[in-house]
Each structure stands twice: as C-alpha cells, then as structure tokens.
Structure 1
Amino acid sequence: MKILTISVAAYNVESTLEKTLSSFNDERIYNDLEVLIIDDGSQDSTSKIAKKYEMLAPQTFKYVAKKNGGHGSTINKGMKLATGKYFKVVDGDDWVDTENLVSFIQDLKKQNSDLVLTNHTEVYPDHSKNINLIKNIKPKKEYTWKDNIDIKRVVLHTLTVKTALLRENNVHITENCFYVDVEFVVWATYVSHTITYFDLYLYKYRLGEADQSVAKKNMLKNIEMQEKVSYQLVRMYDLFVKKQNMIQNQEETIFNTFKRSIGSTMRTYLLLSTKVAKEKIKSFDNNIKSISGVSYQRLDDDKFISLIRKNNYSMVPLIKGMYRIWVMKYGY
C-alpha cells in the first residue's frame, strides 16, 4: 500500500505540467508515492507529458484519461482510484517543494491522523509569500477538534486526508464547475476527528497569471459557477449543523473556510456597475436565506458580509469604491 496518493487535476496544462510532475519525481519516494495524473479531456500535449512520466516511473506515475467533467470530476476520479493511505490534490499548474515532499512522506509513515496539515507558498510572477494558517499547534503532535487549537481555515494547498475516510463518508464533489476545491476542503474537515500539523512549506500555489480561474476577469465570467458552489456550501453547512455533531473548533474552521467563498462571490459582483452589483448581491443573499436560514444568520458574523447587508445593502456603493482601489493596488 502506498503512503500517499497525489491526484493531479490536469486540463490543458502543457505549459506547466512538466514542472508539476518533475517536483514529484524523486527515486527516494517512488515506492511510497502514487501520482494519478487525471487528464480531464485535454486538447493539448498534456497526455504526452503525463505518459512520459508514466514510462519513467510506472510504479509511481499513472496516467488516467477521462471525458471533460471539471475540477470536481478529477477529484472524484482520484478518490475512486487512489491506493494510498492518504490523499492529496495538486492542480496541474502548481507544484511542490521536492525536498519537503520527501520529508513529508517520511513523517506520514509515522502518522495515523485523519487530517494532516502543512503550510504553503503563494508564488507570483515577481515574488513569493509563505502562508501559515495554523496557530497554537505543536508540529507532529496529534490533536482532536476538542483541543485548544487555532486553525484559521483549511485550504486545498494545506490539506492531506485519509483516503478511507473520504470513501466511508461517500464524499462527492460537484462536477462541471470551477471553485469546487472549497467543497472538498469542507468535507475533509467535517469527516475528520484527529489532526496533525507538519511545519513544512510543501505546496507551491501559482498566482497572478491572467489565464487562471481565480483571475478577476475570469471570476466575473464564471460568476454563475461561483454562485453554484456558494449555494452548495450553504446546503452543506446547514446539513452539518442539523446533524449536531460538530465540535466548536471544527465548526469555526469550517465557517471560516466557507464564508470566504460566499464573500468572494459578493466581491466579484462588486466588479459590475453599482446598480447591477447591488441587485445581484441582494438576490444572491436572498437565495442563501431561502436555502438555509441557519447559514444566512451565521454568515452575519462575518464583518464584510454584515457590512454589505447593512441598511438594506445601502453600503454597496461605498464598499464597491473601496474594493476597486484595493484591486488596483493589490490585484485581488
């Protein structure tokens, strides 16, 4: 049995996939690592690059071709095929620090926690930034959600989870849609009981490129997908609360993760004209309320969302102006 399966979401990533796969290519971990390259119907040379690595180290790299179904479908396929004790997703335009991956896998051999968290690095065209979302946790020590820990939020880049746990809970991610990584993260957080943190900057997250789905112009183009994921997260949170089995720390981490998706959708609307932005945000928010009063009320605890809602959304013009300045200065 492999220690770790990495599922690579690969769709038309010929310009970046070589860097991604080469970062896993180390003889020291061939026997412990499985890399599933899930080709989501690519029309470029993605398959050629993937098959090169499959021939190089067939005990580690496996090329999987499938019809196009979106990012979520690659995660679902990866969860189904994985043979590793642990499961991790890496996008085909990102990569990992190879030396830290080797250390990570050696540490994983000694672990049995449901959830294993690491740090990540945001890599921009002209600079990089190390991100640590974990506080009040000693590295390599196992905790439960009942312990006094501070996990600001969980993101795809920090997350590794037991494969069996995903299957036992029939985790399934929305297909034919962008931005579904938040669904995967929230599910993994919800089904987990024990947590271990490794103080490693493992994942290299590429940002600042115009072709990415998280680029502002693309987020606006794909706003309906953002809405779809937001509504699904609202349903999930409502379901989890009604089951009454979330521990406070766990609920807080899930809330901090899913509220960012809701807030991100609202911020995308702010890129529209003032009148349209206000109408869209109001309609979106009313839909949330109709889906789940529990989620709607909980979201009011977020300062940004609460401000947006203030006085029947009368603050939208001011917030839009401030956000425009922010985007011009920082680009996000």
Structure 2
Amino acid sequence: MQKTLTFGIPCYNSSEYMDHCISSILEGSDYADDVQIVVVDDGSTKDDTYEKAQEWEKRYPNIVKAVHQENGGHGMAVLKGLENADGTYFKVVDSDDWVDGDALKDLLATLRRFISFDTRVDLVISNYVYEHVEDGKQNVVDYGFALPKGKIMTWDKIGHFNMSQNLLMHALCYRTDVLRDGGVPMPAHTFYVDNIYAYVPLPRCKTLYYLDVDLYRYFIGREDQSVNESVMVGRIDQQLRITRIMMHAYHLYDDVESPRLRSYMIGYFTLMMAVCSIFSKLSDKPDAIDNLNELWEELRQFDSRMYRRARKGIVGLATNLPGAAGTQVTLFFYRAAQKLVKFN
C-alpha cells in the first residue's frame, strides 16, 4: 500500500539506544502499514547497529527497512533515508531521540486526511521537547503566536518567531517530493547539517500547517552529543562550513518572494552567524578568529544586504563586540540564553 509517512533514522554506533526510537514509532502508530521506518546504518564500527536494524526488518517487514552505507556522516544518512522513502511525507528522527505516541497518532490522522482529500500541504510543523536527562526537566518549544493552529496557510500568514522558535529539524515533516525536487545540499562527514535541512527547502514549501502537539522528544545529556558545548567548540570548522552552505543557498532579498519567510530566514541565518562568532571566541584553535573573519568578509562580498542585517543588527553587534571586554560581554549573553532555553 502507499505509505503515508516515512521516518528516516540515521544510525551510527546506535545499538544501545536505537530500540527505544524505533519502538516509539511502531507503538505510537499502532504498527500501521502506511508507516515506513528506514533505519540507515552509517557504517557503524563499534557495535551491531546494522544487525539490530535487520532484526527489526525481519520482525516488521512491511514497516521497517534496514539500509547500510559506508560511513558518510549524518547528512549522508538522512539522504539515504530519503532515497529509500516510499512515504508521501518524510520525517527524520535521530536514533537517540523518540516520538510521543499520542502526538504521532494526531500527525498521522492529519496527513491521512490531506492525502484522502488530495489536499497538498508541503510542510507540517509540530512542537518538540528538550528532554534533559541529567535533571529530568523538559523544555517544550512550540510555535504559539508565530503560527495559526490547525490551518493550512502560506508563508504570508505566519507571525513573528522569537529566537527560541526556529523551525529546527525536529519540528519538520516535509512532503517527500519537496525534498527531492531541488535536493538538500548535505556535506559528508559534517555535523550540524540539520540546519541546512531546516533552511534550504523552505522556499519550495508553498503551503504549511501547524499541528500543535509535542511530537519529537530531543534527548539532551550525552557528553559526546553534537550539541554539547565542548563538542561544538571543537567542531567550529564544521559550524563555519554549514553556515557557508546556507549563505550560498540564497540571495535572500532577491530569491525569496514572501517577505515574512524572508524575514524568518534572515533571522535564522543571523543566529547561525552568531553561533559561529560565539564558538569561535570560545575556541582555542589559533586560526579560529581568522576563519570567522574570513566568513564575515565572504558574506559581505556575497550579499551586502544579508551582511548588514546579520552583522549590524542587535544580534550581530552583541556577538561581535570588539576587544577582550567585548568578548566577555558576548559570552555573558550567551550563557544567559543557554540557561533560559537549555539548548545544550
């Protein structure tokens, strides 16, 4: 039968926790035949990730597909999942995360209704929850006030997104053909590609829908996790690489027709440049600041309007204050935001 929704699960040495992720989808969907789970083993080397994926496929051959590829990184695993997707819609769930069962039922009912009535909706947005394992606390990211609830809309109907409301990968369920038509420029062996995934396809989405349920549960707490601060500082070169790809994806003021979508995207891009500035300042790599300055200069030459918005606005100024004292002020505001949002 035609699949309604494909979940792509990128896995790398995920044997310890992938079962919880897969089970949450199976149980939450009531083992529905119109759901597909593509488990992508990205060349795991330390455990039996692929063998475990094959076991799931043997148990649920109509739902689970196990796929193996040579190690290419998170982005390549997402694209491999997309390549193997049979669903009208596609959603990525990382192997250490999971989904809420009741929220998944609501999502599936919504998607089935769109398909049944031949109603094209390119992007369905839902809430996600930071699950902080070290203290058992949760932080829900929803889109109240930014998006009308339960209505098919265009980008011209969206409201203002505050800095904690970016449409991260965890919130997004795309129509599969939107992702395939035009592609998603994921680099190999690079972390933080979810920012590209949550940015580049947006102008191709002509209709969207906000489902106000807390679907995605985002695990926070492993020391080796990519959003751990020390890990992010050590991978500042990858942050710069991702931001550079996002920069070159669009001349936002020329290429994005909707003023409100353009405003959202320039806000997202500005935060990416701010992240690069903050973690470059935290880095002890001798060339970190030089590489940051090169990125800013590249942006200025690529698009002067994007540069002015990103560098001369409040966020850009606050994260690029001059001198040692300016760096300390920048880091103070970063720590305050970190405690407020608890994003890593």
TM over 0.5: yes
Structure 2 segments unaligned to the other structure (5+ residues): 115-119
Q: Relative to structure 1, is the Cα distance of residues 322 and 273 closer, same or farther in structure 2, using a 3 angstrom cutoff?
A: farther
Three-state SS of the structure 2 residue aligned to 1:14 is: coil
- After TM superposition, the structure 1 = structure 2 runs for residues 214-225 of structure 1, keeping only pairs within 5 Å, are 214-225=227-238
Structure 1 segments unaligned to the other structure (5+ residues): none
- What is the CA distance between 1:290 and its match in structure 2? 3.5
Q: Relative to structure 1, is the Cα distance of residues 212 and 258 closer, same or farther in structure 2, using a 3 angstrom cutoff?
A: same
Does structure 1 residue 123 correspond to structure 2 residue 138?
no
RMSD (CA atoms): 2.6
Q: Relative to structure 1, is the Cα distance of residues 319 and 138 closer, same or farther in structure 2, using a 3 angstrom cutoff?
A: same
Letter in 2 for 1:303: I
- What is the CA distance between 1:317 and its match in structure 2? 2.8
Q: Name the CA distance, whole Å, in 1 between partners of 2:287 and 2:269.
A: 25
Correspondence for 1:181 among 194, 202, 210: 194
Three-state SS of the structure 2 residue aligned to 1:68 is: coil
Q: Name the CA distance, whole Å, in 1 between partners of 2:113 and 2:326.
A: 51
Letter in 1 for 2:33: N
Q: Relative to structure 1, is the Cα distance of residues 305 and 197 closer, same or farther in structure 2, using a 3 angstrom cutoff?
A: same
Three-state SS of the structure 2 residue aligned to 1:6 is: strand
- After TM superposition, the structure 1 = structure 2 runs for residues 19-58 of structure 1, keeping only pairs within 5 Å, are 19-26=20-27, 28-43=30-45, 44-58=47-61
Q: Relative to structure 1, is the Cα distance of residues 82 and 159 closer, same or farther in structure 2, using a 3 angstrom cutoff?
A: same
Contact 2:271 2:315 in 1 (8 A): no
The percent identity for this pair of structures is 24
Three-state SS of the structure 2 residue aligned to 1:187 is: coil
Q: Name the CA distance, whole Å, in 1 between partners of 2:166 and 2:142.
A: 10
Does structure 1 residue 209 correspond to structure 2 residue 222?
yes
Q: Name the CA distance, whole Å, in 1 between partners of 2:62 and 2:73.
A: 27
1:142 paired residue number = 152
- After TM superposition, the structure 1 = structure 2 runs for residues 297-308 of structure 1, keeping only pairs within 5 Å, are 297-300=308-311, 302-308=313-319
Letter in 2 for 1:207: I
- After TM superposition, the structure 1 = structure 2 runs for residues 259-274 of structure 1, keeping only pairs within 5 Å, are 259-272=270-283
**More deviation in 177-186 or 314-323?**
314-323
Task: With the length of structure 1 as denominator, give the TM-score of the two structures.
Answer: 0.90
**More deviation in 79-88 or 286-295?**
286-295
Does structure 1 residue 113 correspond to structure 2 residue 121?
yes
Q: Name the CA distance, whole Å, in 2 between partners of 1:289 and 1:94.
A: 38
Contact 1:274 1:316 in 2 (8 A): no
**CA deviations over 1:18-73 (Å, ceiling 9, x no partner):** 11111111363421211111111011121122122111111111000001111111
**CA deviations over 1:190-248 (Å, ceiling 9, x no partner):** 2111110111100000113211011111112211111100111111132x4333x4201
Does structure 1 residue 316 correspond to structure 2 residue 318?
no
2:303 paired residue number = 292
1:168 paired residue number = 181
1:68 paired residue number = 71
- What is the CA distance between 1:287 and its match in structure 2? 3.4
Q: Relative to structure 1, is the Cα distance of residues 262 and 195 closer, same or farther in structure 2, using a 3 angstrom cutoff?
A: same
Letter in 1 for 2:326: V
Q: Which runs of 4+ in 1 moved over 6 A?
A: 274-277, 327-331
Correspondence for 2:99 among 96, 99, 108: 96
Task: With the length of structure 2 as denominator, give the TM-score of the two structures.
Answer: 0.87
